[in-house]
Amino acid sequence: MEPPIGIERRRPASFAGLALDRVRIMGVVNVTPDSFSDGGETLGADVAIARGLALAASGADVIDVGGESTRPGASPVPVDVEIARVVPVVRGLARAGLLVSVDTRRSAVMRVACDEGARIINDVTSLAGDPESLGFAAVSGMSVVLMHMQGEPQTMQERPVYRDVVAEVLAFLAERVLACEAAGVPRTRLAVDPGIGFGKTLAHNLALLRSIDRFTGLGCAVLVGVSRKRFIAELGRGEPPLDRLGGSLAAALAAIDGGCSLVRVHDVAETAQAIAVWSAVREQTG
Ligand code: HH2
């Protein structure tokens, strides 16, 4: 019989220098005009830096800076535009002493973000979207979030199909972990993410959220991003993204219950409060 889910036992000791003795919060700063929930809110560098600092003050352990939306239907932006959006924000937040991750699928963006002080690559293509990403991750020493996505953002929600979504996403991430290790990125520098909403129906998202404990078996930290995503409205009453906080918290706690170590969220203060209460009830720190 499987032991009861004990998140302390299943988590690796640390990720990107963060001790995982408690659940860690990745706060989102999108420097984009078109992100699905906060597009345009923090498009200016000063506003984006202020948002990142505020999220850190609210309890975010890492700030994830993105310059390209990967929402369903999104088109890629030119790489120079992505760099121009991301660089001043990464620089400002890293100089303020924050742990910064860069949400990108392009090695050129990873490279400049690293030069500016980012310490984590968050790649929705699991370092497979650009032939130079894997090598750069190895030599840079950065930590990496490997996320599963079926297809491309532009078309991924048209008709996602799996025979067994949990087995297939697990197999994909296991293959990417091995590819990283072979390229020189040790498992201790990796986190895995099932990619909620990335080429997945409601049923697929729920199957993955029910199976987070199986992802902990890959030997890496597990990160989950459910914040404001469409499946919440599908389970609710069709609420727009900014009205999905309740569902976002419920889904994050469900993932944490399954043993995930990091949650990627827009509403940091509310998530920190929810985790504090959940942890106290569970008699676990964090
Ligand atoms: N979700 C989004 C973007 N990046 N990265 C990881 N690792 N996991 C996720 O679930 C994830 C992610 C989508 O959210 P957001 O950044 O708010 O929207 P957009 O892609 O429209 O900018």
- Dump pLDDT digits (tens) for 197-247: 999 999 999 999 999 999 999 999 999 999 999 999 999 999 999 999 999
**Residue with the nearest Cα to atom 18 of ligand 1?**
35
Q: How confident is the model at residue 283 (pLDDT cuts 50, 70, 90)?
A: confident
Q: What tokens does 3 get?
A: 């032991």
* pLDDT of 164: 97
Question: For all residues of the chain together, what is the average pLDDT?
Answer: 94
Share of the chain above pLDDT 90, in %: 86
Q: Are strands 262-265 and 120-123 parallel, antiparallel or unpaired?
A: unpaired
* pLDDT of 284: 54
pLDDT over 80 at 2, yes or no = no
Burial 54-77 (b: 16+ CB within 10 A, else e): ebbebbbbbbbbbbbbbbbebeeb
pLDDT over 80 at 250, yes or no = yes
Residues annotated as catalytic are: 229, 264
* Chain-centroid distance, C-alpha 206: 17
pLDDT over 90 at 154, yes or no = no
Nearest C-alpha neighbor of 267 from the set 250, 285, 286: 250
Amino acid at 163: R
Local structure of 232: helix, strand or coil: helix
Share of the chain above pLDDT 70, in %: 95
Cβ–ligand 1 distance for 69 under 6 Å, the answer yes
Cβ–ligand 1 distance for 271 under 6 Å, the answer no
* pLDDT of 117: 98
* pLDDT of 131: 97
pLDDT over 50 at 4, yes or no = no
Mean per-residue pLDDT, 142-156: 92
Cβ–ligand 1 distance for 225 under 6 Å, the answer yes
Cβ–ligand 1 distance for 103 under 6 Å, the answer yes
pLDDT tens-place string over residues 46-90: 999 999 999 999 999 999 999 999 988 888 999 999 999 999 999
CA–CA–CA angle 143, 148, 151 (5° rounding): 130
Q: How confident is the model at residue 11 (pLDDT cuts 50, 70, 90)?
A: confident
Q: How confident is the model at residue 124 (pLDDT cuts 50, 70, 90)?
A: very high
Rounded to the nearest angstrom, the distance between the alpha carbon of 105 and the centre of ligand 1 is 12
Mean per-residue pLDDT, 249-273: 97
**Residue with the nearest Cα to atom 9 of ligand 1?**
225
* pLDDT of 155: 80
